[in-house]
Structure 1
Amino acid sequence: MAPSSALWLAAVALAGSGWVCRADVGDFAPCLGVFYRSWPPKGLAGTPICQRYDNRYRYASLYSRPRRAPWFSAYVYTVPTGKRPSPNWKFEPQLAYPKADGNMMVFPPGPQDQNVVESQAVQLDYINSSYSRGHLNPSLHHRNHTDRSATFTLTNVVPQKAGSNDGPWQSLEQSVNKTLAAYCLGRAYIVTGIIPYRKDERWLKDHRVAVPEYLWSAYCCPEYNNTLPQRLKERFPTYAAIGRNDQNSTEEIVPVDKKAKEQFRGYDVRKMPLATLEMYLKERSQAPISVFYEQCK
């Protein structure tokens, strides 16, 4: 037996002995505080994960087991400080073993436990692919080092083209950071998710991990500075955006900026009201989707 497998089985044995008494996979109840009015988005089906790290709930993700990727991650924004943590990639033990410890764990070196491989994405899925690990909950949107480190788990990641991840989508995350840091007076709630292809899904590694066609994000800041600049008045209390993850997608949802730099062209981001985002989500999913309680009113 490989050393990593032995360590894993030891962790499972501890969980089975009664050391852990609360599941973090399958129920948002332990982490409802990351949602506005404790109200998770409605209209999407998946496996809820309360993302726990270092014995504390950090944020929430709705996970798709068939896609081995999240539908969305939801979190409370805090003004960031310090440097971006070094990537230390983690996985969710309870997706593989329901009675395992609920804390996310760092991938061990060597061969991976087969139950983990079958239940979720692993690092090998992204190696030598043409996609980067795209955070739905970015480390940039958190103050302390531990919260930022907790974002480096593959249950918070989707396959994202570098032209999006390092270009227009990164610019969106930075813009949201500056806007909320300057004008949001209370808690700011953010939900970031994906839109799958309408047909002919794309996959990593022989149908291992589904690739999204678009990413979307929306924030809710119910308490904000009333002396907003005119250009920002439409962006409170809530605002949203959709970003392309495929240069060859049609321009119906997000037009292409023909003047953009070549490496970023086709990975454009379109900002929009929350109602417009929900319209596109409904059109793609064929079901009503509500991101925030009463649209953050």
Structure 2
Amino acid sequence: MTQRNLLQPSAVALFLLLPWFGELVAGEISRDFNNCLDFFYNRFPPSGTRAVGYQPICQRYKNQYRFASLYHRTHRTPLYSAYVLSPADGKRPNATWMYEPQLAFSGAHPEMEPFHIPVDQNVIESQAVLQDYRNSSFTKGHLNPSMHQKTAEDREATFTLTNIVPQKAGSNSGPWSRLENDVLKKFTTYCEGPMYVITGAMPYKSNIPLINNRVSVPEYMWSAYCCPSYKSGLPQSVQQFFPTYAAVGRNDPNSGEEIVPVNVRAKAAVRGYDVRRMSLETLEGILVDRLAMPISLFDGGCRE
């Protein structure tokens, strides 16, 4: 692997549609992912053309880094969360929702904290809060799902709103949930080393809808994994899924079908929330076209 400046991938990882750009958040939160590079394949975050506006967060809980997110304070949603998949050793925890203090207060303790009542105005201005989701018709959609994390503490850490996007229930508990289970099954069945996962949100091209006039709603969800070490002699039926694979899921049943076709035979509750599975290259091509940025999610395409 070619030696590179470790600061470079973090700088170029900030990519998004031009209308979403803003100033990089100041404060003690790092300007890069240097404290949590282990959550990325080869310790390199996604690369692309640099665009300001997003804040790297090394998600820290109970004195340990648990995963990484790229967050936009103005739009109050992450672009993606990156993690190493590890099957849960227990049940989904009771949700104690948390926030990121350093987004609200420069010099705050670098750990996520449970929401306090009443919520401080600085917190409300800097990030999403629980009130934003009430009566919104959207669920709190995990980018890093709790059941992809081994320990109770790891699972609890996923319940921070800096890991959440507004997701329709038909997607969250339907086709997208099945995709998460399928990725977990492929890991446990075929991977012989770590699986690196990056899951994100794809914004609308224009006229971005908001919940509570504050939190941006994604038009699509997307996810990709990298499993560089897998079993030899894979059945032909699964060879296409390694070392990488990806998917895009609809979060708006009224969106066009140029990215994800609609299965008109699906049950009414999940119709229009289809998930299209695809190669990593296809997903990156969609993101490049949609975001107008050259994007590479895994260093070297996840090729050892």
Using the size of structure 1 for normalisation, the TM-score is: 0.90
Return the alpha-carbon distance in structure 1 between the equivalents of residues 227 and 29 of structure 2.
Answer: 27
Quote the offset at 1:25 in angstroms: 4.2
1:30 aligns with 35
Quote the offset at 1:24 in angstroms: 4.0
Quote the offset at 1:27 in angstroms: 2.4
The 8 Å contact of residues 42 and 290 in structure 1, kept in 2 or not, is answered as yes
The 8 Å contact of residues 24 and 52 in structure 1, kept in 2 or not, is answered as no
SS at match of 1:116: helix
Instruction: Say which structure is richer in helix.
Output: 1
Equivalent position amino acid for 1:140 in 2: M
1:138 aligns with 145
Return the alpha-carbon distance in structure 2 between the equivalents of residues 50 and 24 of structure 1.
Answer: 8
Equivalent position amino acid for 1:152 in 2: F
State which of 274, 283, 286 in structure 2 corresponds to 1:280.
286
State which of 97, 107, 130 in structure 1 corresponds to 2:115.
107
State which of 77, 80, 83 in structure 2 corresponds to 1:75.
83
SS at match of 1:218: strand
SS at match of 2:282: helix
Task: Deviation per CA, 1:204-250: give whole Å up to 9, x if none.
Answer: 102x0000000000000000011322211000000000000000000
Return the alpha-carbon distance in structure 2 between the equivalents of residues 240 and 159 of structure 1.
Answer: 21
State which of 191, 198, 206 in structure 2 corresponds to 1:199.
206
Return the alpha-carbon distance in structure 1 between the equivalents of residues 72 and 30 of structure 2.
Answer: 12
SS at match of 1:29: coil
In the alignment of these two chains, the number of paired residues is 274
1:98 aligns with 106
State which of 51, 59, 69 in structure 2 corresponds to 1:61.
69
Task: Deviation per CA, 1:112-149: give whole Å up to 9, x if none.
Answer: 10000000000000011110000000011111110000
Equivalent position amino acid for 1:138 in 2: P
Indicate yes or no: 2:189 matched with 1:189: no
SS at match of 1:99: coil
Structure 1: state its 5+ residue gaps. 1-21
State which of 29, 51, 57 in structure 2 corresponds to 1:49.
57
Structure 2: state its 5+ residue gaps. 1-26
SS at match of 1:59: strand
Using the size of structure 2 for normalisation, the TM-score is: 0.88
Quote the offset at 1:88 in angstroms: 0.6
State which of 229, 244, 260 in structure 2 corresponds to 1:254.
260
1:85 aligns with 93
Return the alpha-carbon distance in structure 2 between the equivalents of residues 138 and 23 of structure 1.
Answer: 27
Quote the offset at 1:72 in angstroms: 0.2
2:236 aligns with 230
- CA-based RMSD of the aligned residues comes to 1.1
Return the alpha-carbon distance in structure 1 between the equivalents of residues 259 and 100 of structure 2.
Answer: 33
**Closer, same or farther: CA 25–161 of 1 in aligned 2, 3 Å:** farther
The 8 Å contact of residues 29 and 103 in structure 2, kept in 1 or not, is answered as no
Quote the offset at 1:26 in angstroms: 3.0
Return the alpha-carbon distance in structure 1 between the equivalents of residues 70 and 63 of structure 2.
Answer: 20
Return the alpha-carbon distance in structure 2 between the equivalents of residues 152 and 120 of structure 1.
Answer: 14
The 8 Å contact of residues 25 and 94 in structure 1, kept in 2 or not, is answered as no
Equivalent position amino acid for 1:67 in 2: H
